[in-house]
Chains A and B, each alone.
Chain A
Amino acid sequence: MKYFGSGRSGAFDWFFQRVSGIVLLVTLFLHFYVMHFAIEGPITYEKVMVRLSSPGWKALDIVFLIFAVYHAVNGFKLIIDDYVHSTVLRAVTIGLLWVMGIAFLTIGIMTIVNLRVQS
């Protein structure tokens, strides 16, 4: 029996939940390193914003955002697969998840792209 939702087996979801998890772990430690060891203290708004406004960091942040949103949405999807079995409820919850995922992605990308040092 197939439930409402994409017809994929779940292999992709399972594998990329792990891949995105590893990417998140790596970026977490990168963040930790950059914020606490690589910067000459104290950390100030200017120092952080100059770095975040550079194109390289923006690209990295967008990659991070994509993986983070994927990981979160996919995690919720797995929970829905576990507990929500009625077709209607699944349509509603998975639909909401899509809306939320796309919204977070859009807001996030807009924020990152528009970042600049404000004086």
Chain B
Amino acid sequence: MAEKVTFKVFRFNPEKDKKPYYQDFEVEIRKPGMMVLDGLNQIRWEMDGTLAFRRSCREGVCGSDGLNINGVNMLSCITHISDLKPPIVIQPLPSLPVVKDLVVDLTDFMNKFFLVKPYLITYSPPPDKERLQTPEERKKLDGLYECILCACCSTSCPSYWADPEYLGPSALLNSARFILDSRDEGADERFEIINDRHGVWRCHTILNCIEACPKLLNPTEAIGELKKILIKKKF
């Protein structure tokens, strides 16, 4: 008989359930290196077709399957079942409204992302070809551009839970992505937005976001960088 692992899955159907509950599933380990997502697929395809969760690329690129697994936010598709202590407790990302089961409403998270103007802003006339930058300038964007907007960081942040207006680590990291870009000329308008008690100053350096980020980025450091620039400007 194949080895089995218990998945304790958060279930909530707002049309039927008054309260959320946890349901146990026995996931069969059929091949070495199975990911949590493989387990969830097994549940949906073979045991209970009503289980709702998001996934797409299944290789840590699309950012759609951010989940709270054994208490830590991570991507189910790049997390080995064997690395986790059973029973594996799977919950939706904390603090966001639950649409159904493991699917959360990301509207607020995305709105905050758009708020920091996450696109290249330029006022100088465009050169004949593309806007160039040196390898050193490009290097400054490493650790910033890789964000896949999975929301693992923001929803792990107690400041984000407590303050509904707080932009959160992800949006702030993405603002740093453009503020620190040598080709970008929109730093001032972004600083307008993030230099706010619901912007960078709401970060209390709790460091949860670093632990949560599946792309091994460091939002706290990015926020610290932004704080430093703002303090230097002001004092």
Q: Which residues of A contact B (CB under 8 A)?
A: 1, 3, 8-15, 78, 81-83, 85
Contact = CB atoms under 8 A, between A and B. Distances in A.
B116 to A, nearest CB: 15
16 contacts: A1-B165, A9-B195, A9-B197, A10-B196, A10-B201, A10-B202, A11-B230, A11-B231, A11-B234, A15-B235, A81-B202, A82-B163, A82-B204, A83-B162, A83-B163, A85-B163
B164 A10 contact: no
B159 interface: yes
A82 B166 CA distance: 9
Given A14-B227, A15-B231, A15-B235, A9 B162 contact: no
Interface of B: 159, 162-165, 195-199, 201-202, 204, 227, 230-231, 234-235
Contacts, number: 42
Nearest to B165: A1
Given A8-B197, A82-B202, 18 more contacts: A1-B165, A1-B198, A3-B197, A9-B197, A9-B199, A10-B195, A11-B195, A11-B231, A14-B201, A14-B227, A14-B231, A15-B231, A81-B163, A81-B202, A82-B159, A82-B162, A83-B162, A85-B164
A11 B235 CA distance: 10
Contacts of B198: 1
Contacts of A83: 162-163
Contact of B201 (A1, A3, A13, A85): A13
Q: Which of A1, A3, A82 has the most CB of B within 10 A?
A: A82
Nearest to B235: A15
Contact of B196 (A9, A15, A78): A9
A10 B197 contact: yes
Contacts of B230: 11
A28 B164 CA distance: 37
A82 B198 CA distance: 9
